[in-house]
Each structure stands twice: as structure tokens, then as C-alpha cells.
Amino acid sequence: MAEELKLFRTWSSVFALRIVWALKIKGVEYETIFEDLSNKSPSLLQYNPVHKKVPVLVHNGKPIAESLVILEYIDETWRETPLLPEDPYERAMARFWAKFGDDKVLTSIVWGVFFKEGKEQEEAMLEAMEHLQFLEDELKGKRFFGGERIGFVDLALGWLANMISIFEEVAGLKMVDEDKFPLLAAWMQEFADSPIIKDNWPPRDKMIAKFQALRDAKLAAAASK
């Protein structure tokens, strides 16, 4: 019996992109179901009743939600081209940096810097710079966070390689300066240019339009309070 593998995603979700990249790296065939989050399908609500969001991976009828959880499931199910290191300590550290990326880096950049302005944005920028410095330090002596090839942490942080420049363009500021973060800037470029990664980025013009509209709406709402 053939395996059934479905990925529920949206065209723009950076969290779903992690799963796309992982499955492509593993060479695993899957079916894509694109969701409209303003009109969620009964299937999405059935498969992810807790969070009601993408991504969701459905493997032979069994759903797995939350992108970092899905990445680990993929790595444990399809052993070829491992994403996590074999050493238990290194595996733990990979999980740590992936979680740090979501809890600290993404939160400070998106909700702090990008959706703020003025003094609030300046304060958030200081926090975001501290978090980016930790990533810069972690890359010392490495080509990728995973070593010589793309691994778990690279996929978890991969959104930086695309979204930072979009946020910079929309908000009119600079976050990752090559002089201040040379290793991070070089990693972003090499990661973004890797064939499997590059071939699956969403259209840049559509992403800029989407995040310009989101930022305008957030700032307008904050100003009206």
C-alpha cells in the first residue's frame, strides 16, 4: 500500500516552508493542500482542532501539527539525509537554538521591530540585535548551523534568509548589517541560494505587498487606541 502524505499550508507561511524544505531534502513525495486562513477548510479544522492553523502534515491519515514537531517527525520517519545530529548533546543544542529562534528572534523582530515605530521600535531593535548576536556567535567556525550542510536549525531559522530583507524594505530600516553580523549575513546568502531553498521561496512582490498591508493595519490600529 502506497504511503499517503499531505501537507496543509498557505502560500506565504514561513513555518510551512520548513516542512517543504525538509521533505524536498529527504526526497519524499507529498501532496500540497493550500489553505485560505480566512476560510479554513473542514479538513484543516479536523486535523488541527487545537491551533486551527498551518502547517499540518498528514501521514497515512495521522495528523502532526506545529512545524518544529513536524520536522522531528520527518527526520525520525525518513532517515536519509538526517537533519538532526546523532550526538544527544548536539541534538539537544539544535532543539535549543530552533526554539530560541521562534521564542526570541522571530518574536522580537516581527512583533517588536516590524510592527512598531518610534521609541518602541528603537527599544525592540536593541533586543533583536542581542538575539541576532547570539546567532552570529553560534556560526563561528561553521558554514551552516548544522555544520557543513543544511540541518534542523538552518530550516528552523531559514525564514531569516528571506524575511529580513522584506521587513527591511517595508519598514525602511536595516537589521542585518554585513559589518556587524558578517557570519549571519553570509549564512543567509548561502542558505537562500541553495537550490532546494531557492526554488521554493514565495513570490517576493506578493510577500512585500502582504507585509506592507499587515504593517499598515497594525500601525493604524495602534494609533487609533
Report H helices in 101-203: 118-138, 152-157, 160-171, 182-193, 195-198
DSSP 8-class letter at 196: H
Is pTM beyond 0.85 here?
Answer: yes
Residues 6+ apart with CB under 8 A from 32: 6, 7, 9
Q: Which of 67, 30, 65, 60 is nearest to 44 (CA)?
A: 65
Whether the Cβ atoms of residue 7 and residue 16 lie closer than 8 Å to each other: yes
Structural domains in the chain, CATH included, are: 5-77 (3.40.30.10), 88-223 (1.20.1050.10)
As beta bridge partners, residue 33 has 8
Task: Report the distance separating Cα 222 and Cα 3, nearest Å.
Answer: 48
Name the residue type at position 200.
N
> How deeply is 154 buried, as exposed, middle or buried, from its count of CB atoms within 10 A (0-12, 13-18, 19+)?
buried
Cell of 62: 495521522
Q: What tens-digit pLDDT sequence spans the chain (225 residues)?
A: 568 999 999 999 999 999 999 999 999 999 999 999 999 999 999 999 999 999 999 999 999 999 999 999 999 999 999 999 999 999 999 999 999 999 999 999 999 999 999 999 999 999 999 999 999 999 999 999 999 999 999 999 999 999 999 999 999 999 999 999 999 999 999 999 999 999 999 999 999 999 999 999 999 999 998
Note the pLDDT tens digit of each residue in 60-97: 999 999 999 999 999 999 999 999 999 999 999 999 99
Residue 134 CB neighbours (<10 A): 13
Task: Report the distance separating Cα 209 and Cα 126, nearest Å.
Answer: 27
Determine the pLDDT at residue 1: 52
